[in-house]
Amino acid sequence: MVQRQSILSGLPLLGMIFLCLLVGKSITVIPFPSLLIIFSLFLFIFAFLYTNLAMVVLIIAMLLSPQLTFGAISRQQDIMIRIDDLLVVIFSLAWLARTAVLKNLRFFKKFPINRVVLLYCCCCIFSTLKGVFFGSVIPLRGSFYIFKYIEYFLVFYLASGIIEDKKQIILYLKIFFVVFAIVNIYAFTQIGHVERVSAPFQEKSSEPSTLGGYQVLLLGVIIGLLTHTKLGQWKWPLVGLAIFTMIPFGHTLSRASYIALIPMYLTLIVFNKFSTKNILIAGLILGIAFFLIFKPENIMNRVNETFVPEYQENIPTVTILGIPLGASPSARINDWIDLFNQWTKEPFFGYGLTGTRFVDGQYIKVLVETGLVGFVAFILLIVMIFRQTLRIYKNSKDDLYRGLAIGFLAGHVGMLFHAITANTFIIIRIMEPYWFLAAMVMMIPQLEKPKALVAKSTEPNKEYIRNVNFLLHSKWKQDRS
């Protein structure tokens, strides 16, 4: 019996080795579609057997994976897919298969935001189908964007389904910080070579505000943990990482990110229940003093551009409170006005995802694409996330959980301000980490509940074998009868 169990426990490893060899050989002899199928099968088996490691791979891929042009297949040149898009789908299918085989596993756990998530998804789908029917949305393009929106919620439910204890939270946070350090080092190496730094694997036309938004989100989590948790040997590396991040952050020249940083940091101060609030206030004063003393030229010029009117053809200058704005903010505000006038013609359900022209601004985009119904659902979602996160922070008894909760709360507020002039809540490099962190925070109340009297199986692979044997045995008995 012992020998049989040792053979069975070694089968997954042998299978992984075989698939690695198969994929390696396939690279040289098999066309891309076939290779993609083989690679997907490999990842499916890997995620089914090693869910914890699969989440580590997903966290790494969020910022360190390239994007592929889907135009080669669909001839829609503006549709791009990324490696992490494929990972989310494959890992979700693997987790669904695992929940079907193993006991006491659920893909959708009960959270207060579930109904609002469902409502918002339904609004997006209905508005887009309506847009396809009336011709404002190209079917293939609209379908891809619907999946893109739903994909972020898949990340949330996938991560929340897999998280079972504090050790996983700590592991995932460490991976997040390692990836964050790599991204910042990469951005730092760009200084002096490009005008505005960006994240790895981004095209030249990509928005550096994506990197800035991601930095604001992770900085909130890092500062939240530093002010609430005894991190031991991780304390000073995280302090150094937070300070170092400000260098590439400044070189993003992203005004949306600069704006988001301020409310993010103020949230950490306002809602902090501990004496570390004084440290945060001192840090804010030192930061302001440092900025006023050195006055980084590139940042000052970027901020001043906002209020320097510059004539450009077909871009009327916008004046707010007697202050004329520059060409870029004026063009953005004029776009908002035009789209708002367009929304009044389809006020309730909008034009559907991709049903109108591109605009920088999450709120006007949601209003025009999904109408008033979808906009209300979106606002309810972000408000419920804020309220639930704040409640978790106030009620949690664990310092790590409190630090994570207030850090995510600060990052959430920062994203709300970042979204004023950027499409923050549909940017994949921001939203995948955002929803993964949201899952970690929303799981805190369940992780702090007393453990069940009946312990779960610590060997899920053996549980899987027992379930399969039961099914086979039941079928055999049925055939005999």
> Could you tell me which of 375, 433, 427, 352 has the C-alpha nearest to residue 119?
375
Q: Name the domain count of the chain.
A: 1
The answer to whether position 123 is within a domain reads yes
The answer to whether position 5 is within a domain reads no
- Enter the tokens of residue 160: 């929340």
**What pLDDT is attached to residue 35?**
63
Provide φ and ψ at 136, rounded to 5°: -85, -15
- Enter the tokens of residue 125: 């789908």
Please give the Cα distance from 9 to 325 (Å, whole number). 66
**Mean pLDDT value of segment 48-77:** 74
Provide φ and ψ at 77, rounded to 5°: -65, -20
DSSP annotation of 77 reads T
**What pLDDT is attached to residue 480?**
42
Residue 155, C-beta contacts closer than 8 angstroms, at least 6 positions apart: 58, 88, 431, 432, 435, 436, 439
Q: Cα separations (Å) of 256 from 200, 303, 423?
A: 20, 11, 10
Please give the Cα distance from 71 to 247 (Å, whole number). 36
Given pLDDT bands bounded at 50, 70 and 90, which one contains residue 344?
Answer: very high
pTM for the model stands at 0.85
**Mean pLDDT value of segment 44-58:** 89
Range of the domain at 340: 109-151+195-448
Q: Are 276 and 403 in contact (CB under 8 A)?
A: no
- Across the chain, mean pLDDT equals 83
Written as one string, the DSSP assignment of 433-450 is HHHHHHHHHHTHHHHTSP
> Which residue has tokens 């404002």?
136
Q: Cα separations (Å) of 16 from 90, 353, 376?
A: 16, 40, 47
Given pLDDT bands bounded at 50, 70 and 90, which one contains residue 416?
Answer: very high
**Mean pLDDT value of segment 106-118:** 89
Q: Is the pLDDT of residue 204 over 70?
A: no
The answer to whether position 411 is within a domain reads yes
H-helix or E-strand containing 67? strand 67-69
Q: Are 109 and 99 in contact (CB under 8 A)?
A: no
The answer to whether position 48 is within a domain reads no
**What pLDDT is attached to residue 125?**
95
Residue 199 burial class via C-beta count within 10 angstroms: exposed 0-12, middle 13-18, buried 19 and up: buried
- Enter the tokens of residue 292: 């006023």
Please give the Cα distance from 6 to 139 (Å, whole number). 52
The answer to whether position 119 is within a domain reads yes
Provide φ and ψ at 376, rounded to 5°: -65, -40
Q: Are 260 and 444 in contact (CB under 8 A)?
A: no
11-20, 94-103, 276-285, range with the lowest pLDDT: 11-20
Q: Are 253 and 195 in contact (CB under 8 A)?
A: yes
The answer to whether position 22 is within a domain reads no
The answer to whether position 255 is within a domain reads yes
More confident of the two residues 36 and 245: 245
Given pLDDT bands bounded at 50, 70 and 90, which one contains residue 276?
Answer: confident
User: Percent of the chain beyond pLDDT 70?
Assistant: 81
**What pLDDT is attached to residue 439?**
96
Please give the Cα distance from 290 to 424 (Å, whole number). 29
Q: Is the pLDDT of residue 33 over 70?
A: no
The answer to whether position 10 is within a domain reads no
Q: Are 150 and 89 in contact (CB under 8 A)?
A: no
Q: Are strands 80-82 and 67-69 parallel, antiparallel or unpaired?
A: antiparallel
- The model's pLDDT over 357-413, given as tens digits with 9 standing for 90+, comes to 888 899 999 999 999 999 999 999 999 999 999 999 999 999 999 999 999 999 999
Given pLDDT bands bounded at 50, 70 and 90, which one contains residue 472?
Answer: very low
